[in-house]
Amino acid sequence: MAEQTPVDRTSSRRRWMPVVIVGVVVTAAAFVGSWLIGLNLLYTIALLLVLAGVTLVLRRWRSRRRDGPATVGTGTVFAETGVAAAVVFLLLQVVPFGRISSNPPVTREPAWDSPQTRDLAVRACFDCHSNETEKPWYSNVAPFSWALSDHVESGRSKLNFSEFDKRQEDAHKAAEVTEGGEMPPGYYTRFGLHSNAVLSDAEVAQLVAGLRETPGLSNH
């Protein structure tokens, strides 16, 4: 096998440099996007691998049509990746995965200390911590639906206000995490979504106090 000459190596680097640049940009954008919507990083990695595979297939198909490989610019690689991303996005919509299922029945709620505490909890917590989840239009659009489904399943598994006839793993942490600003999480109200869940300082204090006075929702 003949050794590559400096010219060959330079040509090879030029051929792959646009691919590397686009790969870094797309990967960074994917991870930022995942953080913004709260998507599990394992899903993000899987999507990036699928996108890379579809882009590679598209590149090979175009190379055959050109009768051989040719040096392409960063703009061309971005365009190919964009077409591949559109194909992947459309395919995801027909995959029966990551959709929020129908709300189970409400069996029992906590003995709320007051109607006001329940109203605040409904605004800030019920979408992920009850069987009364409201489904926005994008709950059927992957991969957003994957993030939402994960949030609801995880939230209900830790604390479900609609099933207080069962043991609730993190019920005693409700007041603490609310007071610490951990709930609702940042991605839940990002981009102006669920604006009714954005509580004022006074409302947060009222909710925390109410949770502490509600049996089963605090160690205090």
What does the pLDDT look like over 116-131, one tens digit per residue? 999 999 999 999 999 9
At residue 108, the 3 state secondary structure works out as strand
Average pLDDT, the chain: 86
98 domain residue, yes or no: no
Beta bridge partners of 163: 108
74 in the same domain as 13 = yes
Strands (E) in the chain, as ranges, are: none
Are the C-beta atoms of residues 47 and 88 closer than 8 Å to each other? Answer: yes
Number of domains in the chain: 2
Query: Does residue 72 carry a pLDDT above 80?
Result: no
Residue matched to tokens 């090979």: 60
Q: What's the average model confidence in pLDDT over 80-102?
A: 89
What range does the domain containing 143 cover?
115-213
**Has this prediction a pTM greater than 0.85?**
no
* Backbone φ, ψ for residue 163 (5° rounding): -130, 55
Among 77, 92, 107, residue at a domain's last position: 92
220 domain residue, yes or no: no
Q: Hey, how many other C-beta atoms are within 10 angstroms of the C-beta on 27?
A: 15
104 domain residue, yes or no: no
**Which tens digit of pLDDT belongs to each residue from 146-197?**
999 999 999 999 999 999 999 898 898 999 999 998 888 888 888 888 888 8
Query: C-alpha distances in angstroms, 19 versus 46, 104, 158?
Result: 19, 47, 43
Query: C-alpha distances in angstroms, 112 versus 117, 118, 119?
Result: 7, 6, 10
125 in the same domain as 85 = no
206 in the same domain as 124 = yes
